[in-house]
Amino acid sequence: MSYWERLFTADDTNLTEVKNLKERGPFDFVCRNSETLFVTIGDSWTYGARLDEEDLSDSGFRIKNTYGYTISKHLNTDFLNISVPGINNLWMIEKLELLIKNVSDYKNVRVILMMTEYGREFNTNFDMDPKLNQIYKNCNSAYEVIKSTTAHYSNRIEKCSSNKVKIDIFTNYVSNIYKNGKQTNWLEILCNKKLSDCYTIGSWVIPKFEHLVDHNQDVKKTDLKKELLNMMELAEKRFDIIYNTGYNHKSGYGHPNSKGHLKFAEYYLEKHI
């Protein structure tokens, strides 16, 4: 077993999202014999989905062209990329919490937590935490769920930070409402402009919030349906932006191409190092 496999349980390896990655599993690791560890945690954007399509002859093209690899190479640090396409924010935070317990070999640890759209974990096996279920009972709208759970997650992230571990909280294509989160998200960097608020874009994610009525019987179903329809409209507008940056693929979740990864890496190195 490799050292970093200790961050993952049987529940992780049994996830369909992880099984789809086959022998790669939920992480990449590049050793440069450094006393500093640079870590990226995220979903398919951080993983580098579709990068391999740019050079099918190079099996290492994906990892070598992710923003995390580029930043870590510039800093000459070891690089750990914890990322799974389709994964949710709660899973990312749980991996962060395990990570900080297993970095004793390093003098310094720097983390980019690249959060994805809100709500992927809602009403799934991921959110069995009694604290989350109590939060849901006090929410009357999808936005209240997003805002309240994000406040809870922010507190957990904050506890992971220390003099040794520095954490930068970004979002990939949605608004960042995390405490101490970066105001500019990855998509805005690619567009070079500020975007309007948007929190969820997945057509498979937004309907999850219909189950809020199972947690709080005071929720008005008509108002909730109107809210979800509005979220769908905002999602369509957000995809229009993603597909037309010149740095993203024009289908699916609009994953960044290698130029999109490089643009974020250059921004980070200029603004946050």
pTM > 0.95: yes
pLDDT band at 2; cut points 50, 70, 90: confident
| pLDDT, mean over the chain | 97
Number of domains in the chain: 1
The answer to whether 68 and 51 have CB atoms below 8 angstroms apart is: no
Percent residues over pLDDT 70 in the chain: 100
Q: Which amino acid is at 185?
A: N
For residue 128, what pLDDT is reported?
85
Phi and psi (nearest 5°) for 74? -60, -40
Determine the Cα–Cα distance for residues 95 and 154; give it in Å rounded to an integer: 14
CB count in 10 Å sphere of residue 215? 18
Please give the helix or strand (H or E) that residue 261 lies within, else none.
helix 258-271
Measured from the Cβ of residue 261, the count of other Cβ atoms closer than 10 Å reads 25
Integer Rg of the chain from CA:
18
- CATH code of residue 251: 3.40.50
Work out the average pLDDT over 45-70. Answer: 97
SS3 at position 165? strand
Report which DSSP code applies to 256. B
Residue ranges making up the domain that contains 116: 3-271
What tens digit of pLDDT does each residue of 63-107 get?
999 999 999 999 999 999 999 999 999 999 999 999 999 999 999
